Structure 1
Amino acid sequence: MDISRYRDLFVSEAREHLTTLGTLSMRCEEGAADSDSINEMFRHAHSLKGMAATMQLGPITTLSHALEDLLSQIRDGHFSPTRNTVDLMLAAIDTLEQLVALVAQGGELPDSDDLASRIRNHTAAAEEAAATDPTPTASQIKPAAEPAESLFRASDENSTTRVRTALLDRLVTISGELLTVRHTLEDWTNHNQADQLQAPLKELSTLLRQLQNEVFQARMLPFGSIAERYPRMVRDLARKSGKEITFQIYGDTIELDRGVLEQIIEPLVHLLRNAVDHGLETPAERVACGKPPVGSLSLSVSRLADQVLLEVRDDGRGMDPARIRSKAISQGLLNEQQAADLTAQEILLLICSPGFSTAATVTDISGRGVGMDVVQNAIQTIGGTLTIDSTPGHGSIITLRLPISVAIIHALMVACGELQLAVPVSAITSTCEVQRNEIIQKGRDLYLLRDGTEIPLRNLPRFFRQRETLSDNAILPILLAESNKQPIGLLVDRLLGQQEIFTRPLRHPLTDLRGISGSCLLGNGQIVFIVDPTACVGRLCTEN
């Protein structure tokens, strides 16, 4: 029997089983795994074994069967799972994930008998023996196969997702109605009765709006669909660095567009790794500072209007602005005078500079100065913003403000010289019109005087190398936004009104354009660039 045509379905379902098994295994170590959780783990292992046997995938069948036997012993009360047991279960899950990845690529599966044998020999007696040496050696838990692909991979052309049948039914219905309206329009056009096109055009607009909303719903996924991998990662990093950490995730039912979720997987990896390595202290250091020995790390998600807020919070050592400023000067990122002019919030954002790191040594976890730069670039690419709050000795909070969807957004269209640009409405806090005498210049930097505060400005026509045509007595329109809770402004020639646009990603070499996050195509065929305000404005951002 040819089973190759069922491969994609097997891979998809196997990954779901393994994701759940990994999440429930973490509960075992935390002591939160009750009999229902053990029973659920057993069912997933049993299902995976049956699927693999049907597909004639011997190594996966053997290993999942051994894992099923181990869970059966725990379920029947022969012994309770400890950290040593969890290490063994996670090693099995890691290896199974790698084997499934090889199945997806059509590769040959290596033997899994050795690890399966160790799992079967993990009896109550073995558990008692492990109590004196609860930490297995690396060789004991080494996976049977090297990873065939990165765990934090983006989706590819063969990736699949499950969609509710009711949603598909609605999409089919709307598509059929759109076809009917199209035929109506064609009929009226053929008879040159243009005045009678208004009604079908209005109906067409309504149906297109419905179709757009339904398609968006089909792309929405809960944050938990990517969050299940993070507890395991934090656990492994904590053990490697000799730290005790409790990690909590809140709001994992909040839904985001699949495109947004895929773009934030790796930024969150960097943020959590930095929190474990740089932020949180060892138990001895925490006790010396009067803190409990176990550190706290959390990842929370919440909705705010048409945006989603992701917050990574820890109660570690925090960030020292003076140390960051000194390090930035020593690395040549800015001079003494520039450093003195920076606000506290701007100093914290220096950690997002390429190559910047305050780590004394480079480890395999962090310290190379690339993590926060990657985070900021990724967040700005999808039209989001990053905010940092930190108190030395009390921890840090890094907040990501993201759009729910990156496909269709509301934008304010503006004129800058001969260019027409789009600025996401979600990035704008307000707009205003000012006289030229309300703008002051310090060197090459412009500032708006507003309520006694100097707000950094960026002259967009000049920034994008356009000719300036405004007279000295002209009224100047300004878009106000925020960068790390600090107000910033964009000076433009004219405001043209709001419009809903379909965003398109940039490709090389356009990705090197500073201040531009994407593009869109207008109805008249004109290409319009989408502006990222935070990438344009700032005291550290010099003119092109």
Structure 2
Amino acid sequence: MDTTQYLDVFIDESNEHIEVLYKKLLELEKDPTEKAIIEEIFRAAHTLKGMSATMGYNDLAKLTHTLENVFDAIRYDKVQVQSEMIDLLVETVDHLNAMVEDIASGGNGSQDITDVANQLEAIEKGEVVVPKEKIETVQEVVTAQNSSVFTKLDEFELSILNESNERGFQNFEVSVQLREDCLLKGARVFMVFEVLEQLGEVIKSNPSVTDLEDENFDYSFSVILVSSAKENEIAEKIKKVSEIEKVTVDAFSVNNYLDRKETELTTPVTNEVNTVEDKKVEKNESTDSENTKSSHNKTIRVNIDKLDVLMNLFEELIIDRGRLEQISTELRNTELQESVERMSRVSSDLQNIILTMRMVPIEHVFSRFPRMIRKLARDLDKQVDLEIIGADTELDRTVIDEIGDPIVHLLRNAIDHGVETPEVRLQKGKPEKGTIKLKAFHSGNHVFIEIADDGAGINKEKVLKKAIENGIVSENDKDTLTDQQIYGLIMESGFSTADKISDISGRGVGLDVVKNTIESLGGSITIDSEYNKGSVFSIQLPLTLTIISVLLVELNKEKYAIPLSSIIETAIVSKEQILSAHHKKVIDFRGKVVPLVNLKEIFDVPNADHDEEYTSIVIVKKGEKMAALVVDSFIGQQEVVLKSLGAYLSSTFAISGATILGDGQVALIVDSNAVIK
């Protein structure tokens, strides 16, 4: 039976079942006798086994069948759940996950599962499980099975490798695994390549250099290196680059490569999975009733690229709608105005539907955190309970893609710097087990994500002392800072109060990247803390990044747009209300001194000579800071489509993008965060 047409559905549903297994195993560790959890794990394993067997992935089916047998024994009270079992069961699901990933990338999902299967069978028989020193990790299994990731070397590359051997150099295959919390993968790859080029010459990389630069890879990559250095010297120098999890350096033999290629050519291989990529579009369109039964026939799977195309078309429709509204206003034709009003209502409904289709529950990001917290807590000898609230809160897919890494770093920071060890917590009169709360909720057109812990909190005096040492704050200014401004100093570049550098955090990098990533998404981050009581990191993000509400303003007949999300108020002030402080113009806004920022000066807009009696201002806010933007006049509020300025103009100061207005004019969108900063 040809099963290739079902491959996409199989991979999607397998990932869903594996996610259930991970989630429920962590719940089972907290409540080992809960029958409902055991039943759910059994059902997920049973379904995955049946799907795998039908698709012909025998190793996956066999391992899942063994896991199913264990939980069959548990649910009929033949075996009692013990804490030492959970590690093995989680490792088993790691193997299942690796197999599915292998299938998704075009492999056949085969693995040596003998050791894991034997230990699971021992659990099923009620024998005490004595785990080996460490079950072979998924990465090591995959590496062992695939002696080399390089399967296609051309004649030129082979000739270089042969010639290097003749000249006394050695050929190496270097594999580098980045840490999963690495925020700037492209930068780390660049630093590794710099080290490699000092040691020798890189002949080929997998993935390609282009994919590595674009961060179009998971967390590992390999290169073929010609060098006179020793294997351990190469590995040690690469490990000096931060956020490197693992480095493997093996000799690369051209003869072995040619022998392997010859074997592949003479061995008949089934070619079922080779056409997977070519048929992706067809498979996404051909959803039959069997594939949708798991979702009660109410959902279909749609390729995200199609949603992106749909969104782009709708953005063009929004621009044309604005043009029609302007024409109907100018012509004052009643029938035309009625038609345009109806079109506006329908397009607004359509806009809500399209935006809703692009929304993804934040659970897709949150679901991997319990496993990570559990592992980190064990590594640091701490007891931590993670409480997730509001995982069904929805965010635009583009925001979801970007927000994962910042949250990972904040959680790692909370475990390492926040939650104390059990002994210290008991001395402080706290429960032995610390709690980290991860909460998401909607408010207006924004989503708020809070990471709260009941740990040590932030020592204000220590932060201030370090900030003064680093030259971030002067001695004169330290008394004028509010508590939140002091806490915010820990997000400055290179700032760290850690007494010692650990693998978890404390290198002085990370929080500044977190802040920059969130602000690049149009969001903000604030910190609140109480010493020895705990800390709360609050992230505010827009629901979507493509269609935004703005206030259109005019600067000497040029139109600019200021996002409504950053505006507090608009006002018209007289000359008498404008004051001077430290040689700068300011106004008194509700008891606060707010600096005046002339947008004409920032954007080099020619200024009229005449002296105005009144000045139009827009009060904008970023965290605790405010500024009053001086404009010529207000045009009005409007929904616009945010368009990128492209790579050539990406570094333009205080401009985040542009939009096309109804009359065809281009209005630049002001980045008020940059202006305030």
Q: Into which bin does the TM-score normalised by the smaller protein fall?
A: 0.7 to 0.9
8 Å CA contact 1:458, 1:490 repeated in 2? yes
Q: CA deviation at 1:505?
A: 4.3
Aligned with 1:535: secondary structure? helix
The letter for the 1-side match of 2:594 is I
Q: CA deviation at 1:282?
A: 1.0
1:295 and 2:295 correspond: no
1:247 and 2:386 correspond: yes
1:119 and 2:120 correspond: yes
Q: CA deviation at 1:417?
A: 5.5
The letter for the 2-side match of 1:118 is Q
> CA 1:57–1:378 in structure 2 vs 1: closer, same or farther (change >3 Å)?
same
> CA 1:520–1:382 in structure 2 vs 1: closer, same or farther (change >3 Å)?
farther
8 Å CA contact 1:418, 1:466 repeated in 2? no
Q: CA deviation at 1:450?
A: 2.5
Summarize deviations over 1:409-455 as a string: whole Å, max 9, x none.
21112234675332221222222222345344444765432343223
Specify the alignment match of 2:451 in structure 1: 312
The letter for the 2-side match of 1:23 is K
Q: CA deviation at 1:465?
A: 4.1
Q: Which of residues 374, 377, 383 is equivalent to 2:513?
A: 374
8 Å CA contact 2:556, 2:607 repeated in 1? yes
Specify the alignment match of 1:361 in structure 2: 500
Specify the alignment match of 2:470 in structure 1: 331
- The residue correspondences of 1:507-526 to structure 2 (distance < 5 A) are 507-526=646-665
> CA 1:440–1:232 in structure 2 vs 1: closer, same or farther (change >3 Å)?
farther
Specify the alignment match of 2:80 in structure 1: 80
8 Å CA contact 1:300, 1:310 repeated in 2? yes
Q: Distance in 1 between matches of 2:518 and 2:11?
A: 30
Q: Distance in 2 between matches of 1:9 and 1:17?
A: 12
Q: Distance in 2 between matches of 1:468 and 1:500?
A: 28
Specify the alignment match of 2:269 in structure 1: none
Name the stretch that deviates more: 77-86 or 308-317.
77-86
Specify the alignment match of 1:34 in structure 2: 34
> CA 1:94–1:467 in structure 2 vs 1: closer, same or farther (change >3 Å)?
farther
Q: CA deviation at 1:35?
A: 1.1
Q: Distance in 1 between matches of 2:639 and 2:455?
A: 43
1:278 and 2:417 correspond: yes
Aligned with 2:532: secondary structure? coil
1:385 and 2:382 correspond: no
Q: Which of residues 123, 133, 142 is equivalent to 1:145?
A: 142
Specify the alignment match of 2:347 in structure 1: 208
Aligned with 1:480: secondary structure? strand
* TM-score w.r.t. length of structure 2: 0.68
> CA 1:150–1:241 in structure 2 vs 1: closer, same or farther (change >3 Å)?
closer
Q: CA deviation at 1:17?
A: 0.7
Q: CA deviation at 1:27?
A: 0.2
Specify the alignment match of 2:369 in structure 1: 230
Q: CA deviation at 1:248?
A: 0.6
Specify the alignment match of 1:189 in structure 2: none
Summarize deviations over 1:251-291 as a string: whole Å, max 9, x none.
22222222222222222111111111111111112122222
> CA 1:437–1:315 in structure 2 vs 1: closer, same or farther (change >3 Å)?
farther
Q: Distance in 1 between matches of 2:584 and 2:424?
A: 44
Summarize deviations over 1:330-364 as a string: whole Å, max 9, x none.
23334434545433322222222222222233322
The letter for the 2-side match of 1:454 is V
Specify the alignment match of 1:343 in structure 2: 482
The letter for the 2-side match of 1:58 is N
- The residue correspondences of 1:474-513 to structure 2 (distance < 5 A) are 474-505=613-644, 507-513=646-652
Q: Distance in 2 between matches of 1:264 and 1:444?
A: 41
8 Å CA contact 1:249, 1:299 repeated in 2? yes
Aligned with 1:122: secondary structure? helix
Name the stretch that deviates more: 489-498 or 273-282.
489-498
Name the stretch that deviates more: 89-98 or 10-19.
89-98
Q: CA deviation at 1:41?
A: 1.0
8 Å CA contact 1:387, 1:483 repeated in 2? no
Name the stretch that deviates more: 249-258 or 440-449.
440-449
8 Å CA contact 2:33, 2:81 repeated in 1? no
The letter for the 1-side match of 2:50 is G
Name the stretch that deviates more: 391-400 or 360-369.
360-369
Name the stretch that deviates more: 256-265 or 19-28.
256-265
Aligned with 2:142: secondary structure? coil
Specify the alignment match of 1:535 in structure 2: 674
Q: Distance in 1 between matches of 2:20 and 2:117?
A: 20
Q: CA deviation at 1:14?
A: 0.9
RMSD of aligned alpha carbons: 3.6
* TM-score w.r.t. length of structure 1: 0.83
8 Å CA contact 2:406, 2:517 repeated in 1? yes
> CA 1:512–1:88 in structure 2 vs 1: closer, same or farther (change >3 Å)?
farther
Name the stretch that deviates more: 73-82 or 435-444.
435-444
- The residue correspondences of 1:424-435 to structure 2 (distance < 5 A) are 424-435=563-574
Aligned with 2:123: secondary structure? coil
Specify the alignment match of 2:402 in structure 1: 263
Specify the alignment match of 2:553 in structure 1: 414
Q: Which of residues 435, 460, 466 is equivalent to 2:599?
A: 460
> CA 1:327–1:202 in structure 2 vs 1: closer, same or farther (change >3 Å)?
same
8 Å CA contact 1:251, 1:302 repeated in 2? yes
Q: CA deviation at 1:395?
A: 1.0
8 Å CA contact 2:21, 2:41 repeated in 1? yes
Q: Distance in 1 between matches of 2:606 and 2:216?
A: 43
User: Which structure: larger Rg?
Assistant: 2
Gaps of 5+ in 2: 144-175, 184-214, 218-276, 301-306, 325-332
8 Å CA contact 1:382, 1:517 repeated in 2? no
Q: Distance in 1 between matches of 2:577 and 2:297?
A: 58
> CA 1:527–1:358 in structure 2 vs 1: closer, same or farther (change >3 Å)?
farther
8 Å CA contact 2:528, 2:537 repeated in 1? yes
Alignment length (residue pairs): 514
Q: Distance in 2 between matches of 1:457 and 1:26?
A: 54
